[in-house]
């Protein structure tokens, strides 16, 4: 009897990331990270760069289809390679260590701080803005509230995987309420014959073809998050079934909801009003919900908080896996010995996000990181095609139709290429930051060229931080 207790205790104290994400948790993780700030701020960016209502709606539909194609490609990758890490691990396994390291590099240096800052700024704006209506809210107060939101999410993800998962499910259910509160009044308005805003929907007078890629970036930003489940593959229960099924259910739900929401916006608001609004969902609620309009900013803020939680739940897993593969300092492959959370990887992102928040502008940040994010997504699905050709007999429990993988890869590379023409400044900086990882790779990973004193200093700091944070390396192989 005592022996059994000892074994149970030993198993409970073993340090590793448990499989705790079931089908409901997976669906809530995807929907909860996709439906964040994007649908509430991106309509303005899509309309501004598309030039008219008709083309903006087409871009929303095409962005949903393209994102679903990408999600299906990642369903194949996620069931073919059972390691967590998402983009990074797929590039590492299909195209080699340098592309994998560069993806890890830009995630840490640019993409994750920028993505999190965009969502956090939207959260801060929707919390603070109603308190100052009709005057604009002080920027410093918006950023302070954004930092508080990020701090809360980081604390939850450091404290408990269960807490983070339950928080995600609860916030996802609440954010679906906000979508319904937009869709239903829009349908009622259309039923009453409010279609005047759709007249001359394809007016070409303000169409600028060179800005269309930026419109796609805004639309794709709203759908971004479909790949997040692949970051935590090792923690998914029955990944061969759960990953494809949750991706299909989630993307069909989100695409349908997004198109209906944008139709609802234009049923109630003119294109000019959408462009002038600082918070489209709040303006919409003021027009349609009347006495209940004060609820909308709260629901949107909850939606943003859910996206923050989902992003900061999965992103540290990429750093965790990169460290485990030898592409990142050893400390970040460690887990808290009692809480079973990748605490060092979570905490690493916190100061970077805060710094980006203090300096960043919302729409500039979207254009800034989109180039690198989509370049590596396209590269990952290109790697899928290469891997199929080189290893046709590799086990693939879920296999996406070849035409979908080819179309997604070609379109993604095309959008990335056109973005260099549409916004050469931001995309050029993004490209330069990505390439800055090449010398870092050859100095620190490919062949150790740093002085031995540096290595000894890193080892000393690692040991001290390990003791301070009470973390240890994973003791069970989970892939």
Place of tokens 């590596």: 376
User: How confident is the prediction for the chain on average, in pLDDT?
Assistant: 83
Tokens of 19: 């499989």
How many Cβ atoms from other residues are within 10 Å of residue 258's Cβ?
25
The DSSP 8-state label assigned to residue 21 in this structure reads B
- Enter the pTM of the model: 0.84
Place of tokens 């990944």: 239
Q: Is the pLDDT of residue 2 over 50?
A: no
- Distance of alpha carbon 469 from alpha carbon 474, whole angstroms: 15
Question: Which of 22-31, 208-217, 364-373 tops mean pLDDT?
Answer: 22-31
- Label residue 55 by pLDDT band (50, 70, 90): confident
Mean per-residue pLDDT, 88-111: 91
Q: Is the pLDDT of residue 423 over 80?
A: no
Mean per-residue pLDDT, 420-439: 82
pLDDT of residue 274: 84
Alpha carbon 204 to its chain centroid, in Å, reads 33
pLDDT tens per residue, range 227-285:
888 988 888 888 899 999 999 999 999 999 999 999 999 888 888 888 887 678 778 88
1 or 378, higher pLDDT: 378
Mean per-residue pLDDT, 367-371: 71
The DSSP 8-state label assigned to residue 236 in this structure reads B
- Distance of alpha carbon 343 from alpha carbon 159, whole angstroms: 8
């Amino acid at each position: 009897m005592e022996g059994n207790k000892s074994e149970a205790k030993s198993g409970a104290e073993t340090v590793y990331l448990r499989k705790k994400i079931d089908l409901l948790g997976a669906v809530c993780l995807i929907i909860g990270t996709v439906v964040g700030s994007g649908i509430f701020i991106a309509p303005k960016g899509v309309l501004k760069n598309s030039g008219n209502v008709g083309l903006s709606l087409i871009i929303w539909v095409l962005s949903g289809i393209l994102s679903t194609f990408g999600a299906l490609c990642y369903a194949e990758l996620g069931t073919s390679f059972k390691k967590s890490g998402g983009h990074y691990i797929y590039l590492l396994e299909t195209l080699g260590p340098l592309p994998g390291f560069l993806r890890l590099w830009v995630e840490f240096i640019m993409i994750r701080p920028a993505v999190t800052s965009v969502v956090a700024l939207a959260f801060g704006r929707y919390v603070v803005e109603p308190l100052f209506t009709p005057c604009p809210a002080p920027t410093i107060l918006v950023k302070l509230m954004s930092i508080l939101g990020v701090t809360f999410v980081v604390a939850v993800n450091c404290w408990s995987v269960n807490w983070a998962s339950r928080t995600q499910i609860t916030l996802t259910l609440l954010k679906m309420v906000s979508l319904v509160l937009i869709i239903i009044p829009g349908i009622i308005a259309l039923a009453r014959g409010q279609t005047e805003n759709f007249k001359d929907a394809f007016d070409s007078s303000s169409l600028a073809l060179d800005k269309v890629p930026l419109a796609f970036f805004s639309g794709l930003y709203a759908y971004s998050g479909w790949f997040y489940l692949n970051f935590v593959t090792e923690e998914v229960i029955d990944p061969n079934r759960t990953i494809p099924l949750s991706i299909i259910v989630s993307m069909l739900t989100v695409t349908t909801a997004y198109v209906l929401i944008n139709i609802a916006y234009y049923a109630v608001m003119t294109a000019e009003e959408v462009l002038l609004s600082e918070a489209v969902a709040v303006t919409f609620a003021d027009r349609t919900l009347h006495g209940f309009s004060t609820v909308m900013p709260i629901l949107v803020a909850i939606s943003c908080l859910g996206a923050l939680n989902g992003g900061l739940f999965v992103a540290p897993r990429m750093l965790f896996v990169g460290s485990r593969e030898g592409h990142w300092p050893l400390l970040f492959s460690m887990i808290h010995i009692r809480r079973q959370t990748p605490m060092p990887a979570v905490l690493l992102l916190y100061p970077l996000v805060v710094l980006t928040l203090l300096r960043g502008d919302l729409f500039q940040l979207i254009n800034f990181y989109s180039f690198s994010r989509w370049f590596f997504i396209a590269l990952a699905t290109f790697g899928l095609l290469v891997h199929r050709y080189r290893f046709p007999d590799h086990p693939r429990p879920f296999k996406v139709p070849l035409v979908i993988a080819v179309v997604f890869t070609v379109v993604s590379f095309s959008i990335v290429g056109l973005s260099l023409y549409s916004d050469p400044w931001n995309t050029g900086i993004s490209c330069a930051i990505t390439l800055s990882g090449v010398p870092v790779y050859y100095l620190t990973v490919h062949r150790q060229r740093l002085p031995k004193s540096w290595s000894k200093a890193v080892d000393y700091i690692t040991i001290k931080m390990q003791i301070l944070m009470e973390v240890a390396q994973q003791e069970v192989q989970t892939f």
